[in-house]
Amino acid sequence: MMETSLSEIQKRKHPYAKRRIWTFVFLLISIIFVCLYSIITGSVKLQLHEVWEGLTGEKNSMFYTIVWDLRLPRTIVGLIVGMCLAISGTIMQGVMKNPLADPGIIGVSSGAALMAVIITIVLPQYIILLPFAAFIGGFVTAMLIYALAWQGGSSIARIILVGVAINAIIGATMSAIMLLYSDRVQAVLPWMAGVISGATMEQAKLLALYSIPGLILSILAIRHIRILHLGDEMAKLLGHHVERSRFLLIVISTFLTGIAVSVSGLIGFIGLVVPHMIRLIVGSDDRFVLPLSALGGGAFLVFADTIARSWFDPIELPVGLLLSFLGGPFFLYILHKRGNVRAFS
Amino acid sequence: MLSAKHITYQHSDHFLIEDVHVEIQKGEIVSLIGPNGSGKSTLLRLLSYVLKPIGGTVLLDGSEMHTLSRKAIAKKMAMLPQTNNHQLDMTVRELVEFGRNPHKGWFQAINDEDEKVIRWALQMTNLQSYEYRFLHSLSGGERQRAWIAMALAQRPEVLLLDEPTTYLDISHQLEVMELIQMLNEQLGMTVVMVLHDINQAAQYSDRMIVMKDGKIQYDDRTQCVICKQMFQDIFGIDVDIRYEGDKPFFIPIRKTCHMSCLT
């Protein structure tokens, strides 16, 4: 009797319910640990009590300076950039109905990179405008691709094809500039590989200011991504405005990537790998995939950045480079092990 | 209930639906049949307003479609296209919840009333115990029932179905057809469906519409449509018509001419 009622209760729950809770708890704990790890690690190793002293202690003490001026800003920036990239990837994969989609498809990365190359190489006197210019470059390129793909309606296939063409043109332009100014290429290379260095508290605050509206918008976007999974026609039949929400989603995704790219350069892979891994664990329901990817992306980037700046002393490796080195094989391993999983619909 | 007046639609040089009239009465089961490429699916999609006609109007309950919002249409009429994605990674319950979409504003969550409707839809389709099963773990028939449950959660008065039994084995086909019949009898649901199997269409419909080359060739009670002449004209085959009670069915005998003489 007891057993039947127990199985009755279990039937009334989503099969992944437990896993989702555990993943959430695990990621939350990881974020805390990773942030601590990031704060204690560096040329001066801190003890936990020293971190506490730095956080709460007097201004101008050594620990205060290390924690507030050096390590914390970098940790915050890493956290936010990781979140933005992971969410942006989740959204783009939903819109394109393709697990391999990342915001690069819609040209954000290449547009931002082109602007970064132009600023750092051709107009180095305006280097202060780099984040702003990169953001604008990414955003304008994305909108251009969307507009060119429009033919009385947008279609995923056309967006992807137009994206390929525009990305090729931008890539060629970039190469041309780099060839013409080959003596100055050095300056832009770290940016192309993706770095979070020299972050200040001011920058971190500014970044938070921009990204929070984006993050909130992305939560509101979950509904739209989910219904698009049913297919354009079915979504329309359920009274949904497919074009409108596709455009909204692309704008949000572009915005988030734009923010991330503008501060950290081209950090690839997080937007692709993190949502994919989360989906393997908790299924494809974006109500869970999106927030969990955000947590995962944040934790992952902070962790990778800490390793990149500390393990290879005295060199500071660009974090983007490390991510691709670590993420690539790990991704392959997961694909190999869980090849039969319906990672996506 | 649902009618199309003088509708015209063209999506390529070779395909044209011109000046078509359809009138669907409340509580009817109507089947659309015809050879491949005859325009029956297109007509269904025009009726559902996924496709907008180039000329003419479609009326739902007396109001012209273009004056209604998509959500208003979806509250009155549900349609299941043929190309439903079978690989969706979601549970039956999640799918059925989507049926509440037309009744929800941007930020509204599922409330008690939605919950009641979802329960009811699951019960009508006999899927209560499958609520948290994944769609891809179901049989074809169960999956089709889950899609129908989603359509029911819209609380529609009209249900449009595009080949609901294609790719199902015979027992699942009957399961789905009987469910549709039950919805019609118990809820007075108006049903319009494209069917491939003419005997099935004859068995379950009150009225049949036969299309060929984008035109409606026959539109009448089932007993009047299922006749030797119709099969001769539309499909170019010789058939034998039998009756099981008052339901006609046909047995194909031979092809009377090659495809070329039909066109």
Contacts of B84 in chain A (CB under 8 A): 231, 234
> ipTM of this model?
0.87
The chain B residues in contact with chain A (CB within 8 A) are: 48, 50, 69-75, 78-79, 81, 83-85, 87-91, 93-94, 98-99, 101-102, 106-107, 129, 131-132, 134, 136, 154
* A231 to B98: CB separation less than 8 angstroms, yes or no: no
pLDDT for the residue A3 = 42
- Residue carrying the six token digits 């669907």: B24
The count of other CB atoms within 10 Å of the CB of residue A182 is 10
A residues 219-248 near B, CB within 8 Å?
Answer: 220, 223, 226-227, 229-231, 233-234, 236-241
Q: Is the dihedral of CA A79, A83, A85, A86 positive or negative?
A: positive
- What are B94-112's pLDDT values in tens digits? 999 999 999 987 777 888 8
pLDDT for the residue A45 = 82
Q: Which positions of chain A have pLDDT values less than 70?
A: 1-12, 338-345
Name the residue ranges covered by the structural domains of chain A: 80-337
* B83 to A231: CB separation less than 8 angstroms, yes or no: yes
Bridge partners of B57? B5
A55 vs B193, higher pLDDT: B193
Question: How close does chain B come to A224, measured CA to CA in Å?
Answer: 10
Q: Two tokens at A227?
A: 């219904």
Which long-range contacts link A61-69 to residues 24+ away (Cβ below 8 Å)?
Answer: A66/A42, A67/A39, A68/A201, A69/A200, A69/A201
Q: Give CATH for domain A80-337.
A: 1.10.3470.10
CB B1 within 8 A of CB B29: no
Q: Stretch B75-82: mean pLDDT, rounded?
A: 91
Considering chain B, what is the average pLDDT of its residues? 89
pLDDT for the residue A2 = 41
* A237 to B101: CB separation less than 8 angstroms, yes or no: no
Residue B221, Cα to own-chain centre: how many angstroms? Answer: 17
Closest partner CB to A238 (pick from B87, B102, B129): B102
Go through the domains of chain B in sequence order and give each one's CATH number: 2-84+157-225 (3.40.50.300)
Q: Write b or e for each residue in B22-44: b if 16 or more Cβ atoms lie within 10 A of its Cβ, otherwise e.
A: bebeeebbbbbbbbeebbbbbbb
Instruction: List the strands of the sheet with B55-60, edge to edge.
Output: B15-24, B2-12, B55-60, B63-64
pLDDT for the residue B259 = 56
Question: How close does chain B come to A223, measured CA to CA in Å?
Answer: 8
Indicate the pTM of the whole model.
0.87
Task: Label residue B200 by pLDDT band (50, 70, 90).
Answer: very high
